[in-house]
Copies of this chain bind each other. A is one copy, B any other.
Amino acid sequence: MSTLPSRVAIREVALRDGLQIEAPIPLSAKLELLAAIAATGVREVEVTSFVSPTKVPALADAAELAAELWRYPDLEFSALVASPGGAVRAVTAGFKSIEYVVCASDAFSTANVGRPTAQAVAAITDIAGIAHDAGASVEVIIATAWDCPFEGPTDPARVTEIASSASALGVDRLAIADTIGTATPRRVTDLIAAVQPIIGGIPLGAHFHNTRGAGLACAYAAVQAGITRLDSSAGGLGGCPFAPGATGNIATEDLVYLLGDCGIDTGIDLDAAIAAAGVASTVVGHGLPSALLAAGDRKRD
Contacts and interface: CB of A to CB of B under 8 A. Distances in A.
Interface string A252-287: 001001100111000000000000000000000000
A182 B263 contact: no
Given A149-B299, A294-B245, A184 B257 contact: yes
Nearest to A243: B295
A153 B263 contact: no
| Chain A interface mostly | loop
A164 interface: no
B262 A186 contact: yes
Interface in A230-257: 240, 243, 245-247, 251, 254, 257
Most buried by B among A2, A152, A299: A299
Nearest to A219: B217
Interface residues of A, number: 52
Contacts of A216: 213-214, 216-217
A111 to B, nearest CB: 14
A40 interface: no
